[in-house]
A = this chain, B = another copy of it.
Amino acid sequence: MKKITREHIVASALRVLDEEGFDGVTMRRLADELGIKAASLYNHVRDKDELLGLMADAISAELPTFDHAKPWREQAEEMAKAIRRVLKKHRDGARVMAATPPAGPNRLRAIEQLLEALTKAGFPRSTVPDVAFLMSSFIIGFVLDETMGQPGDAASARRRQKEALRWMKSLPPAEFPHLVSLAGELVGSQADRRFELGIRALLDGFDRLRSV
C-alpha cells in the first residue's frame, strides 16, 4: 500500500463519507479503507474532531475563487450557489460543516474573500460580519434541511418522497387544511428554485444596508 499521510487519510475519509454518510465515518471503517488498524490513525490525527475539521477544510478547498470584477449582487449569488453545490457534492457535506468550527486555511480563505467582497460592495464595516455569518448559516441550514434523512441513492430518495406525500395527504384535513392541500408543493422540493428564491430574498434585504 501507499504511505499513510494526513492528506491520504483525509481523502479516504471523504470517500467513506460519500459511500456511508456522516454516521458511517468511523475511525475503524476509515482504518479499513486505508488497510491499517484504527489505533494507527492516532499517529496522524489527534482525534475524530480534528479529522472532521480536516474534512471540512478539504471540502472548502473545492470552492471556486471570487470574481471581484462582477457587481456584488451577482457575485454573492454565484458564491452562494457555488457553496451549495460543493456542500451537496459530498454526501452529508453540510453536516460536516455544521459539526465543525470555521478554522482551517481553505475555509478561512473563503470567509476572507466573502468579507472582502462585502466590504467592497459598500456595506458598513460593522454589518460585514453580520451579512457573512447570515449568508453562511442560511446556506448550511438550507442544505442541511434539504438533504436531511435522505439516503445516498436517488432511487430510494424518490421512494421516501412518495411515502411522505402519501402520509401528508392522509392527515386530517379539518385540522391541517393547508398542510394537506399543499402536500405536493411541500414534499416535491424543487430545491433549486426554492434556494434561488431564498438567497435572492435575503440579498435583496441586505442591499439597503449598503452605503455605496
Which residues in A have some Cβ–Cβ distance to B below 8 Å? 98-99, 101, 103, 108-109, 111-112, 115-116, 119, 125-130, 133-134, 136-142, 144-146, 148-149, 167, 171, 175-179, 182, 185-186, 193-194, 197-198, 200-206, 208-209
Shortest CB distance A156–B (Å): 15
Summarize A's interface: helix, strand, loop or mixed. Answer: helix
Q: List 22 A-B contacts (CB under 8 A).
A: A101-B149, A108-B179, A109-B176, A111-B179, A112-B176, A112-B179, A115-B179, A125-B185, A128-B182, A128-B185, A130-B197, A133-B186, A134-B194, A134-B198, A134-B201, A137-B145, A141-B144, A144-B144, A197-B209, A202-B202, A202-B205, A203-B205
Interface pairs A-B: 8 shortest CB-CB: A141-B141, A201-B205, A115-B178, A137-B145, A204-B205, A134-B198, A205-B205, A129-B185
- Supplied contacts A137-B145, A139-B141, 10 more A-B pairs, CB within 8 Å: A112-B175, A116-B178, A125-B182, A133-B145, A137-B142, A138-B138, A138-B141, A138-B198, A140-B144, A200-B205
Please state the number of chain copies in the assembly.
2
Residues of B within 8 A of A203 (CB): 205
Closest to A205 in B: B201
**Nearest Cβ on chain B to A206's Cβ, whole angstroms:** 5
CA distance A120 to B176 in the complex (A): 15
Which residues of B lie under 8 Å from residue A200 when comparing CB positions? 205
Chain B residues with CB below 8 A from A115, complex form: 178-179, 182
Distance between Cα atoms of A167 and B201 in the complex (Å): 34
On whether the beta carbons of B145 and A185 are closer than 8 Å, the reply is no
Contact, CB under 8 Å: B182 / A148: no
